[in-house]
Structure 1
Amino acid sequence: MTGIDLCVREASWKTGQGRTILDPVSFELPAGEVLGIAGANGAGKSTLLRLLYRFLKPHTGTLLVDGRDLWHLSAREAARTIAAVLQEQPTDFALSVREIVVLGRRPHANGIANAGKRDAEIVDDCLRKMDLHSYADRSFGTLSGGERQRVMVARALAQEPKLLVLDEPTNHLDIRHQLEIVELISDLNITIVTSLHDLNLASRVCDKVLLLHEGRLVAHGAPETVLTPGNIEQAYSVQVRLEQLSASRERYLTFHL
């Protein structure tokens, strides 16, 4: 898998009643980089992600993938280019874990006889990456929230996307699997946009961070330039202190009301 360049130009979104949820926002993300979108609840994070995976059409502006307007792609081509993993997962799928991951291969179906073997290899690889081989024959509806999250990440990876959109990918996960998701994000050679509540995690795994407040852009750039006490206080209405661990010299943000 290889990534694509993403360019968002003055993209905004309003409700049918005309209420602005996301003011015009612009940014560029080079192929293979990871962008973290941060902000308090109601900041517009999920709305921006929905524009990126073509669930919502922007009220203004354009979204370009490798220089092509996202809305000029066919549905099949878009599905081959972009995969999304959402926070809330369905619980009523009457399918096994493997069958759900196999669904990620549908955009690539082309009737070639040997495609079945390659599809099976890709599915097995995605199950392995997400530590799901022992769950392959389990019914999706019997899984915990964290297990379902990992299945949906595996299905997204099976699409072989060039842009992966993740809405709070560590939601519902225990510490071990949170770390696995972080390592996966770091290792994938694709373009990734993810919303994250954990700003220290965003600082660790993201090449760029985009900070929103009430639908408006606060800052965008490298984590060390965006995740400053002043910007965070503006976005979250909390006091922030920047600390450094003497052994590792890593920076950690602590928050106070």
Structure 2
Amino acid sequence: MSGASLCASDLGWGPRRGPAILRDVSFVLPAGKTLGVVGANGAGKSTLLRLLYRFYRPTAGTVQIDGRDLWRMPPREAARRVAAVLQEQPTDFALTVSEIAGLGRLPHRQGLSSAGFRDTQIVEAALHRLDLAALARRRFGTLSGGERQRVMVARALVQEPRVLILDEPTNHLDIRHQLEVLEMLRGLDVTTVVSLHDLNLAFDLCDAVLVLVRGEMIALGPPETALDAVTVARAFSVSAWRERLLPSGRSRFTYTLPASDRT
């Protein structure tokens, strides 16, 4: 896998006969870099991601991958370029872990051809990478929430995308598997867009951060500049302090309710 450049230009979306939920969002993400999307619940994070993985067609603006409009690509080609891992996971699949992961190979097959040797190798490698090899024959619906999340990440990797979209990828995961998934994401040579609630995680993982408030972009840039105390306070309605930890040099946030909200 290798990353592709991702460009959003004046993106907007809203339901028919309804107000816009997302307005005038623009960014350029170079190949192989990671963009974090942060904001309070209802800020428009999931809507933005749905535009990037072609679930919603923009009502304004464009999404381009390596200079090509995502909506001008045939669906199969778009699926070879963009993969998504969502928060919502189906629980009623009557398929095994290996079969679910194998669905990621469908955009690469010709017609009704069955899985080949290389497909099998790619699936096995992804399951091993995400500590799922021992569960390969388990039914998906019998897994815990964290296990299902890792299976969906494996399916996305099997797809061999050039752009990977993740909506809260550590949701449902225990601490060890959170660390494993994050370490894996750091090692991928793909372009990644990830929505996050944890600002400390955004500092550790992302090359750039986009901050949304009620569907509008209020900051975009490296975490050190996009996530200043004023922006965080505006985005989350909290008082925030950022401190640099020694000897690692990493930044960490501390939050409190504004004095006016305390009882």
Q: TM-score range by the shorter chain?
A: over 0.9
Q: CA deviation at 1:48?
A: 0.1
Q: CA deviation digits over 1:106-159, x for unaligned, max 9?
A: 111137999711111100010011100000000000001110000000001000
Number of the residue aligned with 2:31: 31
Is the partner of 1:64 in helix, strand or coil? strand
Number of the residue aligned with 1:22: 22
Supply the distance in 1 between the matched residues of 2:138 and 2:162 (Cα, whole angstroms): 29
Q: CA deviation at 1:185?
A: 1.1
Supply the distance in 1 between the matched residues of 2:113 and 2:155 (Cα, whole angstroms): 22
Q: CA deviation digits over 1:167-200, x for unaligned, max 9?
A: 0000000000110111111000000000011110
Is the partner of 1:12 in helix, strand or coil? strand
Supply the distance in 1 between the matched residues of 2:138 and 2:191 (Cα, whole angstroms): 31
Corresponding position: 1:185 with 2:185: yes
Corresponding position: 1:196 with 2:196: yes
Supply the distance in 1 between the matched residues of 2:79 and 2:218 (Cα, whole angstroms): 31
Corresponding position: 1:139 with 2:139: yes
Please report the TM-score for the alignment, with normalisation by the length of structure 1.
0.97
Corresponding position: 1:41 with 2:41: yes
Supply the distance in 2 between the matched residues of 1:10 and 1:114 (Cα, whole angstroms): 41
Number of the residue aligned with 1:123: 123
Is the partner of 2:42 in helix, strand or coil? coil
Supply the distance in 2 between the matched residues of 1:160 and 1:43 (Cα, whole angstroms): 30
Supply the distance in 1 between the matched residues of 2:242 and 2:100 (Cα, whole angstroms): 43
Q: CA deviation digits over 1:54-98, x for unaligned, max 9?
A: 000111101110000000000100110000010010000000000
Number of the residue aligned with 1:5: 5
Number of the residue aligned with 2:261: none
- Structure 1 residue runs without a partner (length 5+): none
Is the partner of 2:241 in helix, strand or coil? strand
- Structure 2 residue runs without a partner (length 5+): 258-263
Supply the distance in 2 between the matched residues of 1:107 and 1:114 (Cα, whole angstroms): 12
Q: More deviation in 233-242 or 114-123?
A: 114-123
Corresponding position: 1:55 with 2:55: yes
> Structure 2 matches for 1:99-178, cutoff 5 A?
99-110=99-110, 116-178=116-178
Q: CA deviation at 1:13?
A: 0.4
Supply the distance in 2 between the matched residues of 1:248 and 1:185 (Cα, whole angstroms): 20
Q: CA deviation at 1:247?
A: 2.7
Number of the residue aligned with 2:68: 68
Number of the residue aligned with 1:246: 246
Number of the residue aligned with 2:82: 82
Supply the distance in 2 between the matched residues of 1:168 and 1:219 (Cα, whole angstroms): 20
> Structure 2 matches for 1:198-213, cutoff 5 A?
198-213=198-213
Q: CA deviation at 1:251?
A: 1.4
Supply the distance in 2 between the matched residues of 1:118 and 1:201 (Cα, whole angstroms): 35
Q: CA deviation at 1:17?
A: 2.5
Residue correspondences, number: 257
Task: Check the 8 A contact 2:42/2:214 in 1, yes or no.
Answer: yes
- Aligned structure 1 segments of 4 or more residues deviating by more than 3 angstroms: 111-115
CA RMSD of aligned residues (A): 1.4
Amino acid at match of 1:186: R
Is the partner of 1:87 in helix, strand or coil? coil
Amino acid at match of 1:126: A
Amino acid at match of 2:85: V
Please report the TM-score for the alignment, with normalisation by the length of structure 2.
0.95
Supply the distance in 1 between the matched residues of 2:169 and 2:179 (Cα, whole angstroms): 11
Q: CA deviation at 1:249?
A: 2.4
